[in-house]
Amino acid sequence: MVKGCGVDIIEIYRIAQALEKDRFKDKIFTKHEQKILQGKAAQSWAARFAAKEAVMKALGSGWQRGVSFKQIEIGKDQWAKPIVQLFDRAQEIANERGINEIHLSLSHNRTTAIAYAIAVGEE
């Protein structure tokens, strides 16, 4: 059963500018994500940023319920499909809402990145 959905789109130049500051990476991305994204173009970073925003919306949490960007980690499985791992308050909210999986789709072109998240769980 669908419990929530979220979408986010961002202009890549905004993330490219933010990446010039190390504190942006440390505030938004986990160490694991930073390792995966190291050396990648701004499009990849922007898509992951959009994914975190989309997941927050799918959870129905936003920042108002104590969820931070680093509590949402975007990785990939053996087929390069994006996967979501939740920590701390983000995981608590998922549990409270009966969410046991979040499906994620990411895309980008030269100027924008977009992510769509669907949170699912038992009825």
Catalytic residue among 25, 32, 40, 57: 57
Active site residue 57: yes
Count of C-beta atoms within a 10 Å radius of residue 9: 15
Burial readout 18-43 (b: 16 or more C-beta within 10 A, e: otherwise): bbeeeeebeebbbeebeebbeeeebb
Residues in the chain: 123
Give residues with Cβ within 8 angstroms of 4, minimum separation 6: 57, 58, 59, 60, 97, 99, 118, 119
Give the C-alpha separation, 5 to 63, whole Å: 16
Which residues are annotated as catalytic? 57, 108
